Amino acid sequence: MTSSERPLNPTDGGKYVVIVGQEPTQSSPSLTLSKALIGIGVAVRFVPVDELGRLDWLRMLRSAKAVVLVSYLVVDAYRLSQLATAVASNVPLVRWWVGTDVLNVITRDEVRESAALLDRIVSANVCVASHLVDELATAGVHAQFIPSVLDPDLIPSGVTPWSDEIKPILVYMPSGRKEFYGLSVIEPVIAENPDLDFIVLADETHALASHPNVESFGWVTDMNGIYARAGCVLRITDHDGLPRMLLEALLRGLYAIYAWPLSGCWEARTKDEIETALSRYRAVTQPNLAGREAILEMLSARPDRQWESVLTSTFVPLAARARALALAIRIILFHSPDR
């Protein structure tokens, strides 16, 4: 096996889904999707198309049932030609939108133009949140909503046991994007609420560790123990999709203070709104059963099965195959994706 082929399951004899554009690292959405698909018998391969020669890519496409793309920025000419080759070979291209990629499309002209060009050969667009569908529509991209797929290992069977003491509050604060995740609002909240404990995750710089009521764990590979200790999630982001951490917490009966509207959460963006929500949290005496029920209802039509349906039913229209072939040839000959 070459380094360009990275199967996450031993199925080699039949068709498989190819995922491109995002490495299967840590808790990347594509890794979670692959685990869920493998769990229901769908074979998956991660392929770095930028590193793969054209002939090797064509050989791989012979057994591909679909290509799923996760891409946050402009799709460069070589990757675009590889994707166009897949569509010209009658392999459907499904673009999966998870959050920041949508933000980039609606705020950056060059990303929006790249998305519009690629969309001419995409068979289906899938978003993890319903508001992302609406945002993409403003850029002329039509998508369907399938809720975020959860890691099967992190789907609980019931709620986390409650206690009389106020449980710690979880904060996700990745090292390279602390301001995007609300550092300037969250830090004064932590400082002014010394009676509450906070568990900060994913910040390898430990920027908040100096506060006596903060535990800073950096990156955590096993969240089950953390969820068992916590009682609430605080997530204040500039933009968002449908965070898996939030869903996993709500399914356990944890409370959530969230900057975006979502059933079962307290919506808050400003410091004052967060303080109001924290006052409500101090007063709770039982798990957030309403939040759990809201998420169970959202996930009742299983996202993994919805994905299976999309991957099974999606096809490449003849006109899209023709457009893809013309696009691939144009890029190969002239190194330009111009329309």
State how far Cα 70 lies from the chain centre.
9
- Confirm if 280 and 266 have CB atoms less than 8 A apart: yes
Helix 303-313 × helix 29-39 angle, to 10°: 80
DSSP string, 211-235: STTEEEEES-S--HHHHHH--EEEE
Q: Which residues in the chain belong to E strands, given as ranges?
A: 6-7, 16-20, 44-46, 64-69, 93-97, 124-127, 144-145, 169-172, 198-201, 214-218, 232-235, 255-258, 266-267
Q: Which residues in 139-179 belong to E strands, given as ranges?
A: 144-145, 169-172
Q: What is the CATH number of domain 152-298?
A: 3.40.50.2000
The two three-digit tokens of residue 140, written as one number: 């002329």
* Cβ atoms within 10 Å, residue 117: 17
Domain boundaries of the chain, sorted by first residue: 6-150+302-334, 152-298
Q: Give the span between the Cα atoms of 219 and 201, in whole angstroms.
A: 6
Residues of the chain with confidence (pLDDT) below 70: 1-13, 26, 336-339
Cβ-proximal residues to 312 (8 Å cutoff; 6+ apart), any chain: 65
Q: What is the CATH number of domain 6-150+302-334?
A: 3.40.50.2000
**302: number of CA atoms within 13 Å, CB side?**
12
DSSP one-letter code for 153: G
pLDDT of residue 338: 53
Q: How many residues does the chain have?
A: 339
pLDDT of residue 11: 43
pLDDT of residue 117: 94
pLDDT of residue 12: 41
- Confirm if 196 and 246 have CB atoms less than 8 A apart: no
DSSP one-letter code for 267: E
Task: Decide whether 6-150+302-334 matches 152-298 in CATH topology.
Answer: yes
Burial group, residue 62, by CB count within 10 angstroms (0-12, 13-18, 19+): exposed
- Confirm if 232 and 167 have CB atoms less than 8 A apart: yes
